[in-house]
Structure 1
Amino acid sequence: MKLNNKIIYFMILSYILLNLFDIVWKEIILLILFIYILINLWRLKPLENVDTIEEPATFPLVSIIIPAWNEESTIKRSIINILKSSYTNFELIVIAGGEDKTFELVDDLSRKDNRIKAIKQEPLGKSAALNKGLEHKQGEIVIFLDADSLVDENWLNYLVKPIINKEANITVADFKPYIENWVTTWYSLYHSYLRYVTDKKGFFGGSTAFESAVFDNGIVLDDKVIADDYYLSIRCGDKYKIKFVKESIVRTDIPSTFADFLINGVRWVRILLHTTLLFNNKRKNVLFTLLNATYFTLGLPVYLLLYYTIGNEASFIFLEVWFIYFSLLILLNAIKPLALYRIDGNGKWLKYGWVALVFPVFVYLVYFYAMLTYKKVTPFFKGSRKF
């Protein structure tokens, strides 16, 4: 079961319109909205997990592809960590480059372990690097892994078993931040809500495994794409069986300070806009989100403008509509930690539940600023590593 945002926003719009015309039974719409949300919260179920973790009959070669650009501070530690995996039949293809010593570090490690392949990367972006890695793969299963990832010893074993056992064509690992605080909890909350509730076929996190046939059968990464995981989610979501493997845990670098959150939040939104606009059938979603962000961000300034130009009554009506809209959006965000707690029982969602009330304000500001500065889109991480 998933919450249908179209139904929710239709009811919000209906309530606002009825409120404008002061229709007495407008509260009925609000009551229906609450009942709809409560029923859906009760019926929420986790996204489709693997059915079994039985040992497979064979252990095929797995190609792990890591794009690494200016990752001198992280790549050696990440590779050494991966080499400790309990599943040993893999090749590690690192597409390395940048202005630092990333390639030299990987090349040196490749001379000590023949499972590692160091391939020089040109500054063409992450998708181009992944495509180059696919050209060199030899495995029956392909895994994309971020260069800053640290993995549990059994992550690979858990991640590939459902594909080997023909339970799935694509599997997605769970991810944890290096640092647990209120900033990283918002990121985890947002993406967990997407994963559990609104987009159960999305690839969010630092590690996704594919049957090699997925790429052999025509799924190709466009070199222009920056948000590769989001792009592949759209391309593969309705064609292949996707399962989430909660036992496969990857720790990844998430901005853990408010400043880094704002900087990277703008970059993420620009990237999502850039990728979404490549799909005609997804553009309406972008338009709707941007209208939300614009109305929310400019609501108070427009009210002040109306107040000083056309008078108090008309401006008050505008302010009332904006306040109702804002309150209902906050309500919808307050539901997120409750929904996640309902699904997995993790107390941190309640502990940091206040974040869901505060952060949406900044998220809309980030969306609005990213929209105005869209042409500055960049694929590269901004901020300091926190491990």
Structure 2
Amino acid sequence: MHITSEIITHIFLFIALYLEVFFLITYFESRDREHKLSILKMPKKWPSVSIIVPAWNEENTILKTIFSLLKINYPKDKLSIIVVDDGSTDNTWKVVQRFARNKQVKLLRKENGGKYTALNYALCSIDTELVGCLDADSYVHPEALKRIVAKFEDREMMAVTPSIKIFEPKGILGFIQKGEYIFGIFLKKVFYHLNALYITPGPFSIFRKSVFDKIGHYRHAYNTEDIEIAMRMQRNGLKIGNVHDAFVYTVAPNTIKTLFKQRLRWAYGFLQNAIDHRDMFFKLQYGHLGIIVLPAAGFSFFSTLYFFGAIVFDWFSSLIVAIKKIATIGLSFPKFNFDLFYINTNLIVFVSIIAVVGTIFMIVTARKLAEEKTKFGLDSILFILLYTLIAPFWMLKALYNVAFAKETKWR
């Protein structure tokens, strides 16, 4: 059993190290190419854009969301905002009435059917060139839309994703998520250059309207329509881009319960969509997405569970040994011998150290992309130390729900 465990650990560590090196090389190669094309060409004629704001019980945040859209630096006659109240039971509909006379804002109301139905409800009445979505708990940087729209100068570009950051993080949970989202900015940048983005997140992903005419509207997709639509686009060979300095800020869950529910939905949705699109894994026709990125996402999921399980098993084993020792020879304290010149040459330790250094290097790079003031902050430290200790709980629950066909709820 011990030998098998070591073999699995070696394999997982080497794969993790390979992926880190591959992602870093991809980033630096693409950075050099981008440097040569650093002057972003703005369109001579700005295209018309509609932003859908689906809302369900968002009375506390939706005002700020709409105001952030109205403050966007974009021609007013080219920007339409469509707010869809998806059968809210709080005062959301009452709150948004202050925009009833605003020519830029259109208010719609429907029975509750889920986010994807609210998006589709609005899509049916949109005739602009571009269409996007903004979650009702997210806020847009004033320059974000122009930076995203500029990407559509590439005629092959069918959708563009922003960089998402946490809005005013509070407490340990908030800072863990801040570190996680910043790290995600680096990964999205790399995946974009590999043409392998498989998520078009709800906060401010922008599409050509023709995408929905070609592949159809949003689907329920296990309450993760942002994964499903991106996977469908990739399947149909539609290019998805990313702009790392098009910032959108989202309100993070501030309790363990709300964070668990959100991440359970995400993890469950990823697994179910991966199963639905399993034929895309390890297929050359889907390029780096099929050969590298999707398998890497699956590897990350299951390796996290494996290492968490191994740590818990070792901890309990050590505890049992300690209890038996105390029961037989009594309580004794271990002796520590510190040797300044001792170097642990164990391969697992050596590879683990390199992997950690690689992770830190990626985080430093991510913070630069995210325009953070420091190269390494408290949020990044908390993310490294604590995220892998809490994530396995919703991953395990998601795996259980998939295995026993139990659906997850939105909240």
Which of 249, 263, 266 is the equivalent residue of 1:265?
Answer: 263
Structure 1 position 85 matched with structure 2 position 72: yes
- 1:3 alignment counterpart: none
- 2:90 alignment counterpart: 100
- 1:60 alignment counterpart: 47
Structure 1 position 182 matched with structure 2 position 175: yes
> In 2, are the aligned partners of 1:177 and 1:251 still within 8 Å (CA)?
yes
Instruction: Please give the TM-score of this superposition, normalised by the length of structure 2.
Output: 0.69
Q: Deviations over 1:59-97 (max 9, x none)?
A: 232111111111111112211221122211111111113
Q: Deviations over 1:256-308 (max 9, x none)?
A: 55554344323322232343333233689687666545544544676769x99
Structure 1 position 209 matched with structure 2 position 240: no
Which of 364, 370, 385 is the equivalent residue of 1:341?
Answer: 364
Distance in 2, matches of 1:179 and 1:43, equals: 32
Identity %: 21
Distance in 2, matches of 1:298 and 1:52, equals: 49
- 1:4 alignment counterpart: none
Structure 2 residue runs of 5 or longer lacking an equivalent are 282-293, 325-345
Shift of 1:123: 2.0
Shift of 1:221: 1.8
SS in 2 for 1:98: coil
- 2:27 alignment counterpart: 45
Instruction: Please give the TM-score of this superposition, normalised by the length of structure 1.
Output: 0.73
Distance in 2, matches of 1:38 and 1:211, equals: 33
Structure 1 position 135 matched with structure 2 position 158: no
SS in 1 for 2:107: strand
**Alignment RMSD (CA, Å):** 4.1
Shift of 1:161: 2.4
Shift of 1:225: 4.2
* Farther-moved stretch of structure 1 (273-282 vs 233-242): 273-282
Shift of 1:16: 3.0
* Farther-moved stretch of structure 1 (296-305 vs 243-252): 296-305
Q: Deviations over 1:115-150 (max 9, x none)?
A: 222221322211121111111112111111111121
After TM superposition, list the pairs within 5 Å mapping 1:151-170 onto structure 2. 151-164=140-153, 166=155, 168-170=157-159
Which of 222, 226, 230 is the equivalent residue of 1:229?
Answer: 226
Distance in 2, matches of 1:222 and 1:35, equals: 36
Shift of 1:248: 2.1
> In 2, are the aligned partners of 1:81 and 1:151 still within 8 Å (CA)?
yes
SS in 2 for 1:169: strand
* Farther-moved stretch of structure 1 (223-232 vs 64-73): 223-232
After TM superposition, list the pairs within 5 Å mapping 1:1-387 onto structure 2. 16-17=6-7, 36=18, 39-40=21-22, 43-45=25-27, 52-87=39-74, 88=76, 89-96=78-85, 97-106=87-96, 108-164=97-153, 166=155, 168-180=157-169, 182-197=175-190, 200-202=196-198, 203-204=200-201, 206-237=203-234, 239-256=237-254, 260-281=258-279, 291-292=302-303, 295-299=306-310, 332=355, 335-342=358-365, 345=368, 347-349=374-376, 352-353=380-381, 355-373=383-401, 375-380=406-411
